[in-house]
């Protein structure tokens, strides 16, 4: 709870966007793990803004330092702490708007929660910059899962009005695995252009746009998770809603279940190469909260970035008057794109923790 997630593989996140540093402490990495630093850096670079027209031009070096728990890239078994110093934090961007509550941001709720002491600069502890720590921890979890044969495939499924095919029906999924690994997240080559156009259109209209991220986890052993308050659905959601702008999560057929008949969406069991499998996977690889060996399949929706350049109505919390606000600063028009790599990270952290905690079949 709070800024911490995990039971056995436990990550405590700290920092503010425009403070001294952001980072995390990770407990529960097995002693003797040789951290794949190139992999970690690749993932962190994939999250980092400033890499294309579709993300904020703010330059974040994200050059991290590990200050505990590691001796010559080998983990010691004790807490591993990572630190990213903040640079290029133009705090003056924010000082003018200190008392103007940005609509659909956490300025107002944070102000009330912490009696006006919250670090308002750049979103403070709410900033998407904090997700760098999640991506760091997730990259380690991903490495540990991969060693068990578990892969997390994440794609941008839709941006605004444009939608790609679901991963579920892509026949070439297997052949894409390497590409997923290399690029971190997948953007269908057929749809990349229309996605970016959608983003560019929003930007040019001083606006932002939402999107949906789809994830498939292959290689999950049967029997992970549990009923009641150990469901894979509940655990993943708990973590994924920690990513700024995520507002909905669904598993398997998701909201389409509402209009479905049982006879259409029940997944019949069969036997294939001596293993029990299901012939379809409407349930997203989960029965009764527990993995059934099929791919775990879910979607997250990201709302449009609340920071838009248009003039908006708001309130001045100091003077308690209604005013208008024009957000300047540098912002992604579509947080779903960079958010996808964080979805992958939180998925890795959560599933690795579940497996390590329950462990029976791995």
Residues numbered 307 to 346 that lie near a copy of itself (CB under 8 A) are 307-308, 310, 312-315, 317, 320-322, 336
Q: Which stretch binds a copy of itself (CB under 8 A): 52-60, 138-146, 176-184, 199-207?
A: 199-207
Shortest reach from residue 97's CB to a copy of itself, in Å: 13
Residues in 178-197 at the binding interface with a copy of itself, rule: CB under 8 A: none
Q: Is 147 in the site for a copy of itself (CB under 8 A)?
A: no
Q: Give the range of 25-33, 137-145, 164-172, 179-187 binding a copy of itself by CB under 8 A.
A: 25-33
**Cβ 298 vs Cβ 284: under 8 Å:** yes
Size of site (CB under 8 A) for a copy of itself: 149
Q: Interacting stretch for a copy of itself, rule CB under 8 A, among 26-34, 49-57, 139-147, 176-184?
A: 26-34
Query: 145-150 contacts: CB < 8 A, separation 24 or more?
Result: 145/348, 145/351, 145/352, 145/355, 148/219, 148/221, 148/355, 148/362, 149/219, 150/217, 150/218, 150/219, 150/220, 150/351
Q: Does 22 bind a copy of itself (CB under 8 A)?
A: yes
Per CB under 8 A, which region of 8-16, 55-63, 140-148, 172-180 contacts a copy of itself? 8-16
Pairing of strands 296-302, 246-251: antiparallel
Q: What is the DSSP string of 53-76?
A: TTS--------EEEEESEETTEE-
User: Out of 53, 95, 109, 166, which residue is the one contacting a copy of itself (CB under 8 A)?
Assistant: 109
Nearest approach in angstroms of CB 182 to a copy of itself is 26
Q: Does residue number 295 form part of the binding site for a copy of itself (CB under 8 A)?
A: no
180 within 8 A of 347, measured Cβ to Cβ: no
Residues numbered 233 to 262 that lie near a copy of itself (CB under 8 A) are 233-235, 237-242, 244, 246-255, 257-262
Residue for token digits 């609340």?
306
**In this chain, which stretch among 72-80, 164-172, 175-183, 187-195 interacts with a copy of itself, using CB under 8 A?**
72-80
- By beta-carbon proximity to a copy of itself, the closer residue of 181 and 207 is 207
Task: Assess 263 for contact with a copy of itself (CB under 8 A).
Answer: yes
Q: Report how far residue 85's alpha carbon sits from residue 62's, in angstroms, rounded to the nearest whole number.
A: 8
Half-sphere exposure of 229 (CA within 13 A, CB side): 0
Residues linked to residue 246 through DSSP beta bridges, in sequence order = 302
Phi, psi of 308 (to 5 degrees): -125, 155
């Amino acid at each position: 709870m709070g800024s911490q997630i995990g039971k056995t593989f436990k990550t405590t996140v700290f920092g503010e966007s425009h403070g001294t540093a952001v980072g995390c402490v990770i407990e529960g990495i097995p002693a003797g793990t040789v951290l794949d630093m190139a992999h970690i850096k690749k993932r962190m670079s994939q999250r980092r803004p400033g890499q294309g027209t579709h993300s904020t031009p703010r330059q974040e070096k994200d050059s991290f330092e590990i200050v505990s728990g590691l001796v010559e890239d080998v983990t010691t078994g004790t807490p591993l702490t990572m630190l990213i110093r903040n640079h290029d934090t133009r705090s003056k961007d924010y000082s003018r708007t200190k008392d103007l509550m940005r609509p659909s941001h956490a300025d107002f709720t944070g102000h009330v929660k912490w009696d006006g002491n919250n670090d308002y600069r750049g979103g403070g502890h709410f900033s998407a910059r904090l997700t760098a720590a999640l991506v760091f921890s997730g990259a380690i979890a991903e490495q540990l899962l991969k060693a068990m044969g578990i892969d997390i495939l994440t794609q941008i499924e839709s941006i605004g009005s444009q939608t790609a095919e679901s991963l579920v029906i892509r026949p070439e999924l297997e052949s894409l695995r390497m590409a997923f690994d290399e690029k971190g997240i997948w953007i269908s080559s057929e749809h990349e252009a229309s996605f970016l156009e959608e983003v560019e259109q929003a930007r040019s209209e001083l606006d932002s746009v939402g999107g949906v991220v789809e994830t498939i986890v292959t290689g999950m052993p049967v029997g992970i998770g549990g009923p009641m308050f150990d469901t894979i659905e509940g655990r993943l959601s708990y973590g994924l809603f920690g990513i700024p702008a995520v507002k909905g999560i669904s598993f398997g057929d998701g909201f389409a279940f509402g209009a479905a008949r049982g006879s259409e969406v029940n997944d019949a069991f069969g036997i294939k190469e001596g293993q029990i499998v299901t012939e379809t996977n409407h349930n997203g690889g989960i029965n009764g909260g527990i993995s059934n060996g099929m791919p775990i399949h879910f979607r997250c929706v990201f709302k449009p970035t609340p920071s838009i350049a248009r003039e908006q109505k708001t309130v001045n919390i100091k003077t308690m008057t209604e005013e208008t606000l024009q957000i300047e600063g540098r912002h992604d028009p579509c947080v779903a794109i960079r958010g996808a790599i964080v979805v992958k990270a939180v998925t890795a952290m959560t599933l690795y923790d579940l497996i390590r905690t329950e462990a029976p079949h791995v």
